[in-house]
Amino acid sequence: MEFVRESFRWVDQTVYSFTVPSATVLGISQEIGPWDVVFLVAVLGIALGAGALFVTDAGSASPDPVPFEDTVSVGLTLEAERGLDDDITLPRAQVFYSQYQYVVGYYGVETFVEAQRQDGHEQRFGYPLEVYVTDYSGAAVTLNEDGYPVAEQSLSWTDAADAWFVVGSEARTPSGETVVSFSDREDATAFADDHGGDVRTWGQTVEGSFDTDDATVVRDRVDDQHRDADALVESTTDRNDRPVSIVVGDDVDTVQEGIDEAPENTTVVVPEGTYEETLEIDRSITLAGDGDARIQGDGNGSVVTVTELHVGIRNLEITGVGPKTSGAEEVPGDTAEDGWDDEFQTYYTGADAAISAHVAAGLSVEDVTIETPSNGIILRESPDTVVRDVTVRGNERWEDGFAGIMAFRSPGVIEASTIVDGRDAIYAYRSEGIVVRDNAIEGSLLGTHLMHTDGALLADNRLDEIVDTGIYVMTGPERNALVGNEISDAETGSYLGGTDTYVAENVFEANDVGLELVATASIYEDNVFAGNRVGVDDRAMLPTNRVVGNDFVGNDDHATAGSGPLRVWTHDGNGNYWQGATTIADGDPPTRSYSPTDTVDGRLHTTDGAATLARAPALDALSGLEESVSGMQTGSITDVAPACEPNNPDLLERTEQAEHARSCDGTLTIEP
pLDDT value of residue 72: 85
The pLDDT of residue 10 is 26
Query: CATH classification of 213-453 is 2.160.20.10, yes or no?
Result: yes
- pLDDT tens by residue, 641-655: 999 999 999 999 999
Query: Cβ contacts of residue 382 below 8 Å, gap of 6+?
Result: 306, 357, 358, 359, 360, 361, 362, 363, 407, 410, 412
**Alpha helices for 556-609 (secondary structure H):** none
Closest to 337 (Cα-Cα) out of 345, 326, 328: 345
The DSSP bridge partners found for residue 481 are 457, 502
Phi, psi of 70, rounded to the nearest 5 degrees: -95, 5
How far is C-alpha 348 from the geometric centre of its chain's CA atoms? 22
Q: Helix 34-50 and helix 340-349: axis angle, to 10°?
A: 130
Residue 218 to residue 456: CA distance in whole angstroms: 10
Distance between CA atoms of 173 and 88, rounded to whole angstroms?
Answer: 10
Residue 135 bridge partners (DSSP): 156
How far separated are the first and last CA of the chain, in Å rounded? 36
Residues 53 and 71 sit within 8 Å (Cβ to Cβ): yes
DSSP class of 512: S
Helix and strand numbers (H, E) in the chain are: 14, 50
In sequence order, the β-bridge partners of residue 515 are 494, 536
Residue type, 578: W
Are 575 and 551 within 8 A, CB to CB?
no
d(CA 282, CA 309): 8
Q: What is the pLDDT of residue 543?
A: 83
Tens digits of per-residue pLDDT, 41-99?
343 343 333 444 555 555 556 889 999 989 888 877 666 766 677 788 999 999 999 88
Residue-level pLDDT at 132: 97
User: Cβ of 224: how many Cβ atoms within 10 Å?
Assistant: 10
Q: Determine the Cα–Cα distance for residues 429 and 349; give it in Å rounded to an integer.
A: 11
The residue among 359, 419, 429 whose CA lies nearest residue 389 is 419
- Residues 483 and 98: their CA atoms lie apart, in Å, by 36
pLDDT at residue 563, rounded to an integer: 75
Chain centre distance of CA 457: 10
Give residue-wise pLDDT tens across range 438-480: 999 999 999 999 999 999 999 999 999 999 999 999 988 889 9
State the chain's maximal CA–CA distance in angstroms: 89
Q: Are β-strands 128-135 and 92-97 bridged in parallel, bridged antiparallel, or unpaired?
A: antiparallel
CB 630 within 8 A of CB 636: no
Q: Which of 150, 129, 155 is nearest to 67 (CA)?
A: 155
- Contact 266/246 with Cβ under 8 angstroms? yes
Q: Give yes or no for a contact between 313 and 292, defined as CB atoms under 8 angstroms apart.
A: no
**Cis before 263 (ω within 30):** no
Q: Please, which residues bridge with residue 561 across strands?
A: 538
C-alpha neighbours within 13 Å on the C-beta side of residue 579: 28
Residue limits of CATH 2.160.20.10 in the chain: 213-453
Q: Which residues of the chain have pLDDT under 70?
A: 1-61, 77-79, 81-83, 212-213, 334-339, 608-635, 671-672
* Cβ atoms of 102 and 129 closer than 8 Å: no
What is the chain's length?
A: 672
Residue 132, H or E segment: strand 128-135
DSSP label of 252: B
Give the Å distances, CA to CA, from 491 to 34, 59, 445, 465, 495: 25, 43, 10, 9, 10
